[in-house]
Amino acid sequence: MQDSGLQILFQGSNLLRLFGGLGVTLALSLVSVALSIVLGVPLGIVMTLKNPVTRTLTRVYLEIIRIMPQLVLLFLVYFGLAKAFQIHLSGEVSAVIVFVLWGTAEMGDLVRGALISIPRHQFESGAALGMTNLMIYRLVIIPQTLRRLLPLAINLTTRMIKTTSLVVLIGVVEMLKVGQQIIDANRYASPSGAFWIYGVVFFLYFIVCYPVSKVARKLESHWQA
Amino acid sequence: MKEISELLAISHLNKSYDGNVVLIDLSLVVHKGEVVVLIGPSGCGKSTLLRCMNGLEPIQSGEIRLDGVPITDGKTRWSLIRQKIGMVFQSYDLFYHLTVLENLLLGPLHVQGRKRQEVTAAAEKLLERVGLLDKRNAYPRQLSGGQKQRVAIIRALMMEPELMLFDEVTAALDPEMVREVLDVILELARGGMTMVIVTHEMQFARAIADRIVFIDGGEIVESGAPDGFFTSPKTERAQRFLNIFKFEEIKQEEKKEVLL
Amino acid sequence: MDWAFITKYAQMYLTAAGLTLRLAALGTLLSILLGLACSLILYYRLPVLRQLVSGYIELSRNTPLLVQLFFLYFGLPKLGLVLSAENCAIIGLTFLGGSYMAEAFRSGLSSVEPGQIEAGQSIGLRRGQIIRLIVLPQALSVSIPALCANTIFLIKETSVFSAVALADLMFVAKDLIGLYYKTDEALLLLVSAYLIILLPVSALAAWLERRLRYAGFGASNPLSGQ
């Protein structure tokens, strides 16, 4: 049994197909992350404004996105929007929409948190040295904000990569789906294929996410001072 | 007038930390009812010596005996010994999550298994002695530094120790509060408690000590009666150390000479 | 909006919600126990176990729950180890949750000042007593906000259980959409069900956090002379 199971990995282009699925996963995550950063940074700045209207609106947006399980959001977009607007959205597009909405909210909150965590007297010290506001932002505030932000942003990326596994449930052909297809195709040839295939998928997620989270932690401790 | 029985006997103590030698062949005897004050420059090892006495620091060689019984031979149950040796720290370290009274009761109830009523009565009596009875249900964060330290002292006393160790207990306090804490310690001494005190407060040391032990570089350099030590120290290192506490007035004539 | 449909099928959602909550509660409880054990192992630096726990935490935090479930439910049977869907769900949730809870406990444990432990030692408390009476109470108050956040996180993660054929909320919703095409109604019920579960838990967590912040022991820096 051991033999016929392991072999499934090396047959034909199975491994290659799995990597293809990994590629889809990564593409979805990275596109979503990129868009989330682009939209999230301005959102974060808006979130720090003292205007009560913007405060409430952004707060509500954040809370709604956060409280719903991501899978529910995927269902809402994939099934709900399609019905509501009579358009057919592919699983991939639905996924990107949901992830960008989620990622932007999270990113905005991170940016807001990073901005308000800079102590008041950093501004004041800069001013006492005779710096203009612009200089203070450029030389003091922004570098410090980035240092607090980057590890958390990388952490968000890891979370996003893991969450893309959900899109298999709305029909996107990513790693898990490819795995399923391989297993089904080889049902008789390799009865224990499922163990190896899903094992490999598990492993692939790990070797993608682990280095990334390690880098984030290194950065965080490196910049702790 | 004082008994001459040895309460704590330290012989040939050697201690290193991370490869650095901190205490060198140190021997010291503390008699019952005696107040020994350890003084010396920063880093000389006096606090470390204190912490060795109740096992918070391990030693490399040498022996400590309490009441004639060795306590550093590796077979010691330190939790039992520490009931007999009380310690008060510079950072008070009251238990944040408990009220003052609960702080005082924790040891007697859980370690000594005494009855709650008896222990509460004893605690309240001690609180009254230091003037803090009305704070018995307060949390440490609501007390001033001096108040916290006084509670820390009676928390140690609640265990009815034979020996009390004080590790620079006023170093972290504002000057106004130092006095109220030192008064408590003075009263303890008058009551006959055996104590080893590490302090920077020279006048206090002079007033309370039966014996001054001057430590420098991990060794006992000089020891003797306080008056003798402070007025005419015998060793050069002791003289240099005590000079740190004297300030010369800047005389007008001297200044003019320098400028010219 | 077909309200008749909604009232007819609300019952199904209720049952499904019950399943979700039951599994989430069990998974959370086991996660907390596992997390506590792991954090204590790391805190006391027990040899061998320490490396195992570190490895487990890395593995669990870098892989999605869905993949873990697929592996448990579809993969393990090939080795002869067949677990029911429910057991897979609970094991998967615990495997995932344990590492998050361990991190929450870890930050609580590391927030206890060494001086507190020494003070406990100096009045003669034994190691077990020190953990029970001093370290854990202080550590818990720091950990509780994170523990609550993790609980909410785990409740949300249960949404993948439909993938292993458990009749949870997502399963019911998908079923109804597929069978009756009543997408709006099915989705409305779905969102409402999750809101009804998650909003109170969220509010409870926020309240708990506020309570703890006021009770905060306010350990002021003793060296500031306060």
> Hey, of C62, C154, C189, C199, which one would you mutate to test binding to chain A, going by the most A CBs within 10 A of its CB?
C62
Q: Mean pLDDT across chain B, nearest whole number?
A: 86
pLDDT in tens, A166-188: 998 888 888 888 888 888 887 77
Q: Is the pTM of this model over 0.95?
A: no
Query: At B184, is the pLDDT very low, low, confident or very high (cuts 50, 70, 90)?
Result: very high
Chain B residues inside the 8 Å CB shell of C118:
56, 89, 93
Among B86, B95, B172, whose Cβ lies nearest the Cβ of C222? B172
Give residue limits of the domains in chain B.
6-246
Among A71, A80, A192, whose Cβ lies nearest the Cβ of C187? A80
Give the other-Cβ count within 10 Å of A10's Cβ. Answer: 8
> Hey, of B110, B165, B169, which one would you mutate to test binding to chain C, going by the most C CBs within 10 A of its CB?
B110
How much is the pLDDT for C220? 34
Inter-chain CB proximity A75 and C170 less than 8 Å: yes
Chain C residues inside the 8 Å CB shell of A70:
156, 159
What is the rounded distance in angstroms from the CA atom of residue B200 to the CA atom of residue B171?
8
Asked if residue B254 has pLDDT above 70, the reply is no
How much is the pLDDT for C183? 82
Structure-token pair, residue B226 = 């306080």
Inter-chain CB proximity A206 and C71 less than 8 Å: no
B250 class by beta-carbon count within 10 Å (0-12 exposed, 13-18 middle, 19+ buried): exposed
Give residue limits of the domains in chain A.
2-222
Query: At C218, is the pLDDT very low, low, confident or very high (cuts 50, 70, 90)?
Result: very low
Which of the pair, A210 or C208, is modelled with greater confidence? Answer: A210
How much is the pLDDT for A5? 62
- Min Cα separation C134/chain B (Å): 7
CATH topology of domain B6-246: Rossmann fold (3.40.50)
pLDDT in tens, C21-76: 999 999 999 999 999 999 999 988 889 999 999 999 999 999 999 999 998 998 88
Among C115, C123, C133, whose Cβ lies nearest the Cβ of B91? C115
Inter-chain CB proximity C78 and A169 less than 8 Å: no
Chain A residues inside the 8 Å CB shell of C173:
75
Inter-chain CB proximity C202 and A67 less than 8 Å: yes
> Hey, of A72, A78, A157, A186, which one would you mutate to test binding to chain C, going by the most C CBs within 10 A of its CB?
A72
Backbone region of residue B62 per phi and psi (left: phi > 0; alpha: psi in -120 to 50; beta: other values): left
Domain spanning C3-212: CATH superfamily: MetI-like (1.10.3720.10)
What is the rounded distance in angstroms from the CA atom of residue C123 to the CA atom of residue A107?
49
Chain C residue closest to A164 (CA)?
C64
pLDDT in tens, C99-117: 999 999 998 898 888 899 9
Among C129, C134, C225, whose Cβ lies nearest the Cβ of B145? C225
Judged by DSSP in three states, C206 sits in: helix
Cα–Cα distances in Å, from C18 out to B35, C85, C93, C201, C203?
Answer: 70, 16, 17, 15, 20
B96 — contact with chain C (CB < 8 Å)? yes
Give residue limits of the domains in chain C.
3-212
CATH architecture of A2-222: Orthogonal Bundle (1.10)
Judged by DSSP in three states, B212 sits in: strand
**DSSP structural state of residue B35:** E
Query: Torsion angle of alpha carbons C96, C99, C102, C107, nearest 10°?
Result: -120
A56-77: average pLDDT: 90
How much is the pLDDT for B236? 84
> Hey, of C54, C68, C70, C96, which one would you mutate to test binding to chain A, going by the most A CBs within 10 A of its CB?
C70
DSSP code per residue over A168-193 = GGGT--SHHHHHHHHHHHTTTT-TTH
Name the percent of chain C lying above pLDDT 70.
Answer: 94
B199-221: average pLDDT: 89
- Min Cα separation A139/chain C (Å): 31
**DSSP structural state of residue A204:** H
